[in-house]
Amino acid sequence: MPRPRPFDDAFGAELDRLFRWRRDVRHFQATSLPENMVAELVATASRAPSVGYSQPWRFVRVADAARRARIHAIFSACNAEALAAQPAERAALYARLKLSGLAEAPEHLAVFVDGEAPTGGGLGRATMPETLAFSAVLAIHTLWLAAAARGVGLGWVSILDPVAVAQALEVPAGWRLVAYLCLGYPVEPAETPELERCGWESRIAPSDLMLQR
């Protein structure tokens, strides 16, 4: 006899709706988030699974205007290089894309992985050391869903030099940047990803992403 399910069908339907509505947001309202919101989201993110229970994620809330300006300058330089590297048929479209919400988002959160984290005792990562960073990504995704459930948008800015960001934020030497996140209320929530709406890429059918052996 199977055990009773901990969640009913109504919860499952709502969870599926959350997955569909979680978007990578680039357009933010100027409205500030509630005072304790970021701390609550980080607490939820810290419930994510991690290899060997290492909990290697490290969060930096970037509030200082000068540091934010340095991050924006790093993005601008990297984005210019990325634009120059685009093939001719993609360059014009790339130039029109809004690839960060750095100027508008009320909250910036940098996520690092501590490559020297003593927790976990190295369990589970001797053959796949990259699972340490993967654990930080799981924390990010957990935070992303928790934010979306609260009506908060999140944008992952990856067009950055990770070494330059670490220097700008003056973090410990063993920390490596995994993600730079913009957080705030979205201007206009949308079910369809913006890059799909802009014609940059279309969704791949799940059946084309799975092999059976």
User: Which has more pLDDT, 19 or 5?
Assistant: 19
Cα 213 from Cα 205, distance rounded (Å): 19
Identify the weakest region by mean pLDDT among 11-20, 108-117, 186-195.
186-195
Instruction: Answer whether residue 154 is part of any domain.
Output: yes
Confidence bin at 91 (pLDDT 50/70/90): very high
With beta carbons less than 8 A apart as the criterion, state whether 160 and 137 touch: no
162-203 pLDDT tens trace: 999 999 999 999 999 999 999 999 998 888 899 999 999 999
Confidence bin at 4 (pLDDT 50/70/90): confident
SS3 127: coil
Residue with tokens 């063993």: 174
Contacts with 133 (C-beta within 8 Å, 6 or more apart), sequence order: 56, 113, 176, 178
Instruction: Answer whether residue 36 is part of any domain.
Output: yes
Cα 85 from Cα 148, distance rounded (Å): 33
Nearest to 147 by CA among 185, 103, 109: 185
SS3 111: strand
Confidence bin at 205 (pLDDT 50/70/90): very high
Instruction: Answer whether residue 4 is part of any domain.
Output: no
Instruction: Answer whether residue 209 is part of any domain.
Output: no
Other CB atoms within 10 A of residue 118 CB: 8
- Report pLDDT for 191: 85
Q: Say if residue 1's pLDDT is above 80.
A: no
Instruction: Answer whether residue 60 is part of any domain.
Output: yes
Instruction: Answer whether residue 29 is part of any domain.
Output: yes
Instruction: Answer whether residue 208 is part of any domain.
Output: no
- Report pLDDT for 23: 92
pLDDT > 70: percent of the chain? 100
- Number of domains, the chain: 1
Q: Say if residue 89's pLDDT is above 90.
A: yes
Q: Say if residue 155's pLDDT is above 80.
A: yes
Range of the domain at 92: 24-187
Cα 60 from Cα 149, distance rounded (Å): 22
Q: Say if residue 106's pLDDT is above 90.
A: yes
State the number of CA atoms in the 13 A half-sphere of 175 facing the CB. Answer: 20
113: CATH:
3.40.109.10
Nearest to 150 by CA among 196, 197, 101, 189: 189
DSSP annotation of 92 = H
SS3 200: coil
Instruction: Answer whether residue 161 is part of any domain.
Output: yes
